[in-house]
């Protein structure tokens, strides 16, 4: 099975300018995703799709191939699917390269491990999945507000958190889609959508300055813990 990893990393960001290459513990945010992807034995080729020359340069420095996307695919309205399809078109026309599966790796998830990537790809080997979505377990009680009143989406849940049946929410850490499904449905989500439960730490998604501060503290704590083990 030929697996293409694609990291969508545009330059525009309303919350944080050039967020995708903002330093996190003295390393560009994008670098963490590139490094974990390159460690995977399942990914045959890795591409960063970007519209920004500085992002392209950093991606290449960390070992990823780069495909520059047109301006219309770098707007707030451009879909991830349109970016993935553009990369596929470029690789097919230029290199006659047609993968079986596209792995979408957002650069805002620096805690994603190579083990998670391998688990994701392995789902295709063990099932009839046409797509995989990363999800996070939650035992919270969700609801909506109607006429200023709170209504539970699932009434009657047990009050003790530990006794509730878990729910799952989509996270942007990882997606995988058969190329045939992506092209036919214009979506990373197919009809046979299998779930991959993502550990809470790996599901951390960085979009704000507060997210950066939390991630930096967590990453520093992990480094300190490793140093204590080796001492």
Q: What angle do CA 117, 36, 219 make, to 5 degrees?
A: 110
Residue 22 has pLDDT above 80, yes or no: yes
Label residue 13 by pLDDT band (50, 70, 90): confident
Residue 15 has pLDDT above 90, yes or no: no
Label residue 162 by pLDDT band (50, 70, 90): confident
pLDDT at 224: 74
- Coil, strand or helix at 67: strand
- Coil, strand or helix at 37: helix
| Rounded-to-integer distance, Cα 3 and Cα 51, Å | 23
> Which has the higher per-residue pLDDT, 228 or 101?
101
| Rounded-to-integer distance, Cα 37 and Cα 219, Å | 18
Q: What angle do CA 41, 101, 46 make, to 5 degrees?
A: 50
The domain spans of the chain are 3-135+169-230
Q: Return mean pLDDT, the chain.
A: 94
The mean pLDDT of 183-192, rounded to a whole number, is: 98
- β-strand 143-146 against 23-24: which pairing, if any? unpaired
pLDDT at 231: 59
Residue 173 has pLDDT above 80, yes or no: yes
DSSP, residue by residue, 140-207: ---EEEETTEEEESSTT--SSGGGSPPEEEEEEEEEEEEHHHHHHHSSS--SSEEEEEPPTTTT----
Burial 166-186 (b: 16+ CB within 10 A, else e): ebeeebbbbbbbbbebbeeee
Closest CA relative to residue 187, chosen from 76, 43, 80, 92:
80
Q: What is 3-135+169-230's CATH number?
A: 3.90.550.10
Are 62 and 43 a contacting pair, CB within 8 Å?
no
Are 106 and 205 a contacting pair, CB within 8 Å?
yes
The reported pTM is 0.93
pLDDT at 12: 83
Residue 32 has pLDDT above 90, yes or no: yes
pLDDT at 228: 63
**Digit-coded pLDDT (tens) for 126-160:** 999 999 999 999 999 999 999 999 999 999 888 88
| Rounded-to-integer distance, Cα 48 and Cα 37, Å | 11
User: What is the percent of the chain where pLDDT is above 90?
Assistant: 88
Label residue 222 by pLDDT band (50, 70, 90): confident
Residue 36 has pLDDT above 90, yes or no: yes
Residue 107 has pLDDT above 70, yes or no: yes
């Amino acid at each position: 099975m030929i697996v293409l990893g694609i990291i969508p990393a545009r330059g525009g960001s309303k919350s944080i300018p050039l967020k995708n290459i903002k330093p996190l513990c003295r390393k560009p945010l994008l670098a963490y995703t590139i490094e974990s992807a390159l460690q995977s034995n399942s990914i045959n080729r890795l591409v960063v799709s970007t519209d920004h020359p500085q992002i392209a340069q950093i991606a290449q420095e960390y070992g990823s191939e780069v495909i520059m996307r047109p301006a219309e695919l770098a707007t707030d309205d451009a879909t991830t699917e349109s970016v993935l399809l553009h990369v596929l078109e470029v690789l097919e026309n230029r290199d006659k390269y047609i993968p079986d599966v596209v792995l979408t790796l957002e650069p805002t998830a620096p805690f994603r491990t190579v083990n998670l990537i391998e688990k994701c790809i392995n789902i295709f080997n063990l099932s009839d999945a046409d797509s995989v979505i990363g999800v996070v377990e939650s035992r919270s009680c969700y609801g909506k507000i109607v006429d200023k009143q709170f209504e539970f989406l699932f009434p009657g849940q047990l009050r003790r958190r530990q006794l509730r049946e878990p729910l799952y929410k989509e996270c942007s850490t990882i997606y995988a889609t058969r190329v045939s499904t992506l092209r036919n449905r214009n979506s990373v989500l197919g009809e046979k959508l299998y779930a991959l439960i993502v550990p809470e730490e790996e599901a951390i998604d960085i979009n704000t300055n507060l997210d950066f501060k939390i991630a930096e503290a967590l990453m520093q704590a992990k480094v300190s813990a490793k140093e204590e083990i080796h001492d």
